[in-house]
Amino acid sequence: MKTKTFSPGDLVSLRTKDKSWQGHVLESYDPSVILLKLKSGYNVGIREGEILDARVTETAKDIKKPEVELVKKKGLRNVVVIITGGTISSRLDSKTGGVIATDVGEILKIAPKIGEICNIVKIESPFMKMSEDMDHRDWKKIAEVCEGHLNDSSIDGLIITHGTDTLHYASAALAFFLGRLNKPVALTYSQRSIDRGSTDASLNLICAAKYAVSDIAEVALVGHKNSDDNICLAMPATKVRKMHTSRRDAFKIVNGEAIAEISSEKFKINREFNARDNSKKVKLDVRYFEKVALIKVHPGQDPSILEYYEKLGYKGIILEVTGLGHVPGKMSQNNWLPKIKRIIDGGIVVCATPQTIFGRLNLNVYSSGRDLQKTGIVFLGDMLSETALVKLGWVLGHKKWNHQEKMLENVAGEVSKC
Amino acid sequence: MVHDYNKLGLKAGLEIHQQLNTSKLFCECPSLLRNDEPSYEVERKLNPVVGEIGEIDVAAAYEESRHKTFVYQVYDTNCLVELDEEPPHEINRDALRIALQICELLNCEIFPVSQVMRKTVIDGSNTSGFQRTVMIAHDGYVEVGGKKISIDAVMLEEDSARPVSRENNKVVYKLDRLGIPLVEIATGPHMHTPEEIKAVALKIGEILRACDVKRGIGTIRQDVNISIKGSKRVEIKGFQDTRMMIKTIDEEISRQKKCVEEKSCRSEVRNALPNGESEFLRPMPGAARMYPETDVPLLKISRELTDEVRRNLPKLSSEHKSYLDEFGLNDELVKLILKGNKVEEFKALAEITSNYDLIVKSLTIFPKEIARKENKILREVEGILNLDVLIEVLENVGKKISVNDVKNVLTKIVEGKGLDEALEKSDINLKGEIEKLIKEKPGLSEGAYMGLVMGKFKGKVSGKEVMDVLKRVL
């Protein structure tokens, strides 16, 4: 009760039976325990009931953060950084014990080498979200911010920082929304937060900056190649997937190859690319139809799930199918074929992607593949399911397009040629 | 007394780090030190850290570490947690329990709630750039020579990675030691003579060894903080051996006296050398920056847990000694039990037989002798001759086997014989065999017959038995 008036951050003096305590009050998860930051730096809990006397010796102060100063060097290309949230832009507020979004400038301070690579002329944050909370509206917002800078002739490239959970959806969306690019767009991230010395953000940001000043006018996801802090890959936006929950090199290229290998010393380009042309403008195409679903087919699954989506007004479904391209068929207790055919006839675009993640579908090897083909399903070759989902939403956003044909067209490198 | 400590105003405190005998603190990897080739290596950098209020720590040390490459050698006994590629798992409950035992034996107050902290480390000895540490208790004491020496705090924390080599811009570490649970005990600066410091160190050492802690070189690290009037606090690290403690402290007092005269005192960390001197290691670091480890929940230490720990506290070896003395064992045997940490086994076997000497021999001397004879590692022999086996064997003394057979039976078990088979009294008619031998080769000496019989029945009969029969027959 004596501690009711405490606010997080207050410097307080407490007395228990045989000891007095001084420290800063932190946000406690348990109302019966006062969490205190001692002078030694340790945070400890003291039972409320054991506190005999308590007083605030100093109320919490707001500490002003130092202003970010953007220095411009002659001869360096100009880059804009767009910050959207995620681990790369969150850190702990030790005053209260909560996690807060960082000041936009902090991110660059952890990678001061960027100042030798490019001029950061602007840091912009359309929103701060963890990526699991994002959807196509957020991708659209990012794309719109990008458009402004891409069509500004004084800007040479963009870096976008983003949470990792759904970063590969966002990278695919930007590849479709931004169309033929005139400048590099680098998406990057961190798996270890920037309040620890071992953060991977530092190398990722340096490599993203090197990509942003390169002549590769494509959307790329730039991040650790392996567990070492010395080399990153520029990964194609539609051919990349988060493949690990926690490692630095969580993102892997699937059915494709890196655009470039980047380290502090080197920039090695691996393939032909769409070249920079600052004189050109980009034209955004952000139309999107959100009622699209991704279903993973699994043994014993009831195909009625398709009708559920149909009832909800869905117009597109990506079926993540087994093996070379199969669903439970005629010999199964749950034959999917009639229901797939029926919803396709009813106007839903149904596409198939491999749930093996790696490899390409081939419907001719087994009869079950040939049976599935007869339903009118669109086989998407070696396209990633997540990329396919985003693409389907984008394609269905365009009423006049032939949706089936457009899904098969290689718009942004999403299907690899053999 | 080398110095007049009272006049000099000697103040000293101890900081003791002890490894616990469990798997790692924040993952389930074994706490196993490796000397073989690592599976692979990982190269990392450390970055300046964004601080609490968004400022960057631009300490010179950071500038230095920034240009360094840290190489970590990874073993198949490491996982992604030690590699800083996966968040920490929940705190090791076994380690917590042992740490709480130590807190209780040190008469400390245990915090009901505490928070695992990240203590910034920039020398690369932690892959994460910080050491995880949690304060679990405060304000205890140890009684030494009738005086209460205060214990300020007890922490449970991760050990660091072992350095392998240092070059200009590259430091190589092994990941084997990283994450082994350590208990850190900090006393108040309340010791005033070197003898007192040593006595407190020994007392705390005794308390630690009563609990399940690691033994051997490198498993305990003792640092002494010393100052005299007019000097500055100096920390001496690296005491492996308390025997050198007094000499080292006296040397340090002499050094500090000189620096007081020269007005050249500085707060620094020194390294204890084997000859009792010490060498400068580094200036005393400022308070390390600490911030919470948000990847693990707040550590709640329930009253149930502390009560349970309190009810099952291990006995100190001084208490064990008085317990063992009651059995009428001689000092030598008591020492063997204490040294081998076999008090619990002794207690169990004392229920089976009142031949206490035999119990001690079966627990300590026989396994050693058998290991030597069979060319096996002692630990392996002790593993085979576990408590269950010893109970079965000793239960049969005076029934299937005699006191003199015990070592033979144990040897047979170590050689791979089943318990029943080993216990089976060899159906050798010793008397008949010996009589037969004397008839065949009459007129030999007792020793010669002994040699022939023992040679014939290799290990199947005990020397004493043969001697007894021989004496009767001859």
Pair (B280, B342) in one structural domain: no
Q: How confident is the model at residue B332, as a pLDDT?
A: 87
Q: What end-to-end distance do the CA atoms of chain B give, in Å?
A: 67
Pair (B32, B123) in one structural domain: yes
Residue-wise pLDDT tens digits, A107-118: 667 788 898 999
Pair (B241, B320) in one structural domain: no
Q: How confident is the model at residue B397, as a pLDDT?
A: 87
- Put simply, the answer to whether B56 touches A45 (Cβ < 8 Å) is no
Which residues share a beta bridge with A26? A35
Q: How many CB atoms lie within 10 A of CB A283?
A: 10
- Put simply, the answer to whether A45 touches B122 (Cβ < 8 Å) is no
Q: How confident is the model at residue B459, as a pLDDT?
A: 62
Which residue in A43, A195, A230 is closest to B43 by CB distance?
Answer: A230
Nearest to A113 by CA among A196, A203, A223: A203
Q: How confident is the model at residue B54, as a pLDDT?
A: 45
| pLDDT over 60 at A406, yes or no | yes
Which residue in B44, B52, B135 is closest to A198 by CB distance?
Answer: B44
The confidence band for A400, taking pLDDT boundaries of 50, 70 and 90, is: very high
Residues spanned by the domain of B175:
5-292
Q: Domains (ranges, CATH) in chain A? A: 11-58 (2.30.30.520), 77-269 (3.40.50.1170), 292-408 (3.40.50.40)
Q: How confident is the model at residue A352, as a pLDDT?
A: 98
- Put simply, the answer to whether B291 touches A195 (Cβ < 8 Å) is yes
Using CA coordinates, name the residue in chain B closest to A16: B109
Pair (B116, B151) in one structural domain: yes
B280 burial type by CB count under 10 A (0-12 exposed, 13-18 middle, 19+ buried)? exposed
Length reported for chain A: 418
Tally of structural domains, chain B = 3
Pair (B22, B58) in one structural domain: yes
Length reported for chain B: 474
Residues ≥6 apart with Cβ < 8 Å to B292: A43, A92, A94, A97, B115, B116, B117, B118
User: How many CA atoms within 13 Å lie on the side-chain side of A400?
Assistant: 0
Q: Please check whether residue B300 lies inside any domain of the structure.
A: no
CA distance B226 to B252: 8
Which residues share a beta bridge with A352? A319, A379
**Distance from B32 to chain A by nearest Cα, in Å?**
23
Nearest to A390 by CA among A410, A408, A407: A407
What does each C-alpha distance from B415 to B239, B375, B397, B410, B457 come to in angstroms?
Answer: 42, 11, 20, 9, 16
Q: How confident is the model at residue B111, as a pLDDT?
A: 95
Using CA coordinates, name the residue in chain A closest to B86: A246
CA distance A256 to A414: 9
Q: How confident is the model at residue A418, as a pLDDT?
A: 65
Residues of A in contact with B288 (CB under 8 A): 41
Q: How confident is the model at residue B58, as a pLDDT?
A: 45
Q: What's chain B look like in SS3?
A: CCCCHHHHCCEEEEEEEEEECCCCCCCCCCCCCCCCCCCEEEEECCCCCECCCCCECCCHHHHHHHCCEEEEEECCCCCCCCCCCCCCCCCCHHHHHHHHHHHHHCCCEECCEECCEEEECCCCCCCCCEEEEEEEEEEEEEEECCEEEEEEEEEEEECCCEEEEECCCEEEEECCCCCCEEEEEEECCCECCHHHHHHHHHHHHHHHHHCCECCCCCCEEEEEEEECCCCCCEEEEEECCHHHHHHHHHHHHHHHHHHHHCCCCCCEEEEECCCCCEEEEEECCCCCCEEECCCCCCEECCHHHHHHHHHCCCCCHHHHHHHHHCCCCCHHHHHHHHHCCCHHHHHHHHCCCCCHHHHHHHHHHHHHHHHHHHCCCHHHHHHHCCHHHHHHHHHCECCCECHHHHHHHHHHHHCCCCHHHHHCCCCCCHHHHHHHHHHHCCCCCHHHHHHHHHHHCCCCCCHHHHHHHHHHHC
Contacts with B, A 42-81, CB within 8 Å: 42-47, 63, 65-66
- Put simply, the answer to whether A192 touches B55 (Cβ < 8 Å) is no
Pair (B411, B446) in one structural domain: no
Helices (H) and strands (E) in chain A, counts: 10, 21
Pair (B400, B457) in one structural domain: no
Q: Please check whether residue B308 lies inside any domain of the structure.
A: no
**Distance from B102 to chain A by nearest Cα, in Å?**
19
Residue-wise pLDDT tens digits, A335-348: 999 999 999 999 99
Q: Please check whether residue B68 lies inside any domain of the structure.
A: yes
**The two structure tokens encoding residue A46:** 């003291």
Q: How confident is the model at residue A335, as a pLDDT?
A: 96
CB B56 within 8 A of CB A66: no
Of residues B343 and A237, more confidently modeled: A237
- Put simply, the answer to whether A227 touches B42 (Cβ < 8 Å) is yes
Residue in B27, B49, B55 to test binding to A, most A beta-carbons within 10 Å:
B49
Nearest to B130 by CA among B183, B65, B74: B65
Q: Please check whether residue B336 lies inside any domain of the structure.
A: yes
The confidence band for A238, taking pLDDT boundaries of 50, 70 and 90, is: very high
Do strands B40-44 and B69-74 pair parallel, antiparallel, or not at all (unpaired)? Answer: antiparallel
Question: What is the ipTM metric for this complex?
Answer: 0.90
What does each C-alpha distance from A309 to A295, A299, A372, A379, A394 come to in angstroms?
Answer: 10, 20, 19, 20, 18
- Put simply, the answer to whether B292 touches A197 (Cβ < 8 Å) is no
Is some CB atom of chain B closer than 8 A to the CB atom of A307?
no
- Put simply, the answer to whether B122 touches A197 (Cβ < 8 Å) is yes
B358 burial type by CB count under 10 A (0-12 exposed, 13-18 middle, 19+ buried)? middle
**Distance from B75 to chain A by nearest Cα, in Å?**
15
Residue in A198, A206, A248 to test binding to B, most B beta-carbons within 10 Å:
A198
Which residue in A44, A95, A102 is closest to B50 by CB distance?
Answer: A102
| pLDDT over 80 at A99, yes or no | no
CA distance A393 to A377: 16
3-state secondary structure of A322: strand
Contacts with B, A 202-221, CB within 8 Å: 202-203
Q: Which helix (H) or strand (E) segment is A292 a member of?
A: strand A292-296
Q: Which pLDDT tens digits describe chain B residue by residue (474 residues)?
A: 689 999 999 999 999 999 999 999 999 999 999 999 999 999 999 887 755 444 455 454 555 666 889 999 999 999 999 999 999 999 999 999 999 999 999 999 999 999 999 998 888 999 999 999 999 999 999 999 899 999 999 999 999 999 999 998 999 999 999 999 999 999 999 999 999 999 999 999 999 999 999 988 889 999 999 999 999 999 999 886 778 899 999 999 999 999 999 999 999 999 999 888 999 988 887 767 788 898 899 999 999 999 999 998 988 888 888 888 888 888 888 888 888 878 888 988 998 888 999 999 999 999 999 999 889 888 889 889 999 999 999 988 888 888 888 998 899 899 888 888 888 765 567 777 788 888 888 888 888 888 888 777 766 677 777 787 788 777
Q: Buried b / exposed e across A367-402, counting CB within 10 Å, b at 16+?
A: ebbebbeebebbbbbbbbbbbbbbbbbbbbbeeeee
The reply to whether the predicted model has a pTM over 0.80 is yes
Backbone phi and psi for residue B197, each to the nearest 5 degrees, phi listed first = -60, -45
Mean pLDDT over residues A309-328, rounded? 97
Using CA coordinates, name the residue in chain A closest to B50: A195
CB B254 within 8 A of CB B202: no
| CB contacts < 8 A (A, B) | 147
Residue in B56, B57, B66, B113 to test binding to A, most A beta-carbons within 10 Å:
B113
Residue-wise pLDDT tens digits, B6-37: 999 999 999 999 999 999 999 999 999 999 99
Residues of A in contact with B138 (CB under 8 A): 19, 44
Q: How confident is the model at residue B50, as a pLDDT?
A: 56
- Put simply, the answer to whether A202 touches B47 (Cβ < 8 Å) is yes
Pair (B278, B365) in one structural domain: no
- Put simply, the answer to whether B135 touches A42 (Cβ < 8 Å) is yes
Residues of A in contact with B289 (CB under 8 A): 41
Pair (B114, B47) in one structural domain: yes
Nearest to B118 by CA among B88, B154, B83: B88
Do strands A11-16 and A53-58 pair parallel, antiparallel, or not at all (unpaired)? Answer: antiparallel
| pLDDT over 60 at A97, yes or no | no
- Put simply, the answer to whether A33 touches B113 (Cβ < 8 Å) is yes
Nearest to B386 by CA among B425, B351, B419: B419
The confidence band for A98, taking pLDDT boundaries of 50, 70 and 90, is: low
Residue-wise pLDDT tens digits, A116-161: 999 999 989 999 889 999 999 999 999 999 999 999 999 999 999 9
Do strands B268-272 and B147-158 pair parallel, antiparallel, or not at all (unpaired)? Answer: unpaired
Hey, which residues of A are catalytic here?
Answer: 87, 164-165, 242
Q: Please check whether residue B251 lies inside any domain of the structure.
A: yes
Angle between helices B317-325 and B194-210 (to 10 degrees): 70
Pair (B457, B379) in one structural domain: no
Residue in B55, B73, B85, B299 to test binding to A, most A beta-carbons within 10 Å:
B85
Nearest to A159 by CA among A199, A110, A219, A103: A219
| pLDDT over 80 at A334, yes or no | yes
**The two structure tokens encoding residue A97:** 């014990």
Residues of B in contact with A111 (CB under 8 A): 47
What does each C-alpha distance from A90 to A123, A194, A195, A208 come to in angstroms?
Answer: 16, 7, 8, 19
Q: How confident is the model at residue B53, as a pLDDT?
A: 44
Is some CB atom of chain B closer than 8 A to the CB atom of A1?
no
- Put simply, the answer to whether A45 touches B48 (Cβ < 8 Å) is no
Q: What end-to-end distance do the CA atoms of chain A give, in Å?
A: 72
The confidence band for A49, taking pLDDT boundaries of 50, 70 and 90, is: confident
Residue-wise pLDDT tens digits, A379-391: 999 999 999 999 9
Mean pLDDT over residues A224-241, rounded? 98
**Distance from A18 to chain B by nearest Cα, in Å?**
9
DSSP states along A170-213: HHHHHHHHH-S-SS-EEEE--SS-TTSTT-SHHHHHHHHHHHHT
Residue-wise pLDDT tens digits, B239-292: 867 788 999 999 999 999 999 999 999 999 999 998 889 999 888 877 677 888
Q: Please check whether residue B360 lies inside any domain of the structure.
A: yes
**Distance from A27 to chain B by nearest Cα, in Å?**
12
Q: How confident is the model at residue B55, as a pLDDT?
A: 47
Residue-wise pLDDT tens digits, A181-201: 999 999 999 999 888 889 999
CB B139 within 8 A of CB B185: no
Pair (B66, B211) in one structural domain: yes
Radius of gyration of chain B (CA): 29
Pair (B180, B319) in one structural domain: no
Sheet holding A267-269, edge to edge: A118-124, A77-83, A157-161, A185-188, A219-224, A232-236, A260-262, A267-269
Q: Which of B387, B402, B423 corresponds to the end of one domain?
A: B423
Q: Please check whether residue B310 lies inside any domain of the structure.
A: no
- Put simply, the answer to whether B290 touches A41 (Cβ < 8 Å) is yes
